Amino acid sequence: MQTLYEAAGGDEGLRRLAEAWHTRVMADEVVSHAFSHGFHPEHTERLAAYWIEALGGPTAYTDSYGSETSVVRMHSGNGPHEEMDRRAVACFDQALTDVGLSSDDPVRPVLSAYFSWATNNSMSRYHGSAANIPADLSIPRWSWTGLQTG
C-alpha cells in the first residue's frame, strides 16, 4: 500500500503543499500574526521536511533540522490560541485545493485530519513555558488510519 508521503506526491508534492500553506497563512490576518516577529528563511523547506517525515517519508527533518522537541518548543509558551489554530487548519484545507487535491481524492481527508490533529494536539499541548517540554519527543507518524502509536 502507498504511504501518505507517496500519495501526497513525495518530496515535491509536500514542498508544494508547504509553499501553498505558507502563502495562505501569510495572507490571513490572524494566522500571520504567528510570523510577525519573523521566521526562518528556510521555513517552507523545513515544514516540508517535517511533513515528509511525519507522513511516512524519509527522516528529512530529524536528519537535518532538529527533533519534535525543537518543533514543539517553537510553537509553545504563547498561551491558548484556538482561533489561530482553527484558521491555520482552514488555510491548510485551502492549500490542499491550491495544489490540486480534489475533494474526491482519497488522500485529502487524511492529510486534513493529520494537520488538524497536529495543530490542535501536538503543537498546542504546551501553552505555558517551553521549558516544560520533554527533551526526548519524536515526530509523530501518521498513516492512512491515523496516528501510529507503535
- CB-CB neighbours of 60 under 10 Å: 20
Tens-place pLDDT, residues 27-50: 998 887 766 565 667 889 999 999
What does the block give as the cell for 115? 494537520
Neighbouring residues of 69: CB distance < 8 A, sequence distance ≥ 6: 133, 134, 135, 136, 137
The residue ranges of every structural domain in the chain are: 4-64+78-128+138-147
At position 109, the amino acid (one-letter code) is P
**Is 116 buried (19+), middle (13-18) or exposed (0-12) by CB count in 10 A?**
middle
Task: Give 71-130 pLDDT, tens digit per residue.
Answer: 777 756 565 568 888 999 999 999 999 999 999 999 999 999 999 999 887 666 666 667
Cα–Cα distance for residue pair 21/16, rounded to 1 Å? 9
Residue 14 corresponds to which cell in the numbers above? 509536500
pTM recorded for the entire structure:
0.88
- What's the topology of domain 4-64+78-128+138-147? Globin-like (1.10.490)
pLDDT in the model for residue 121: 79
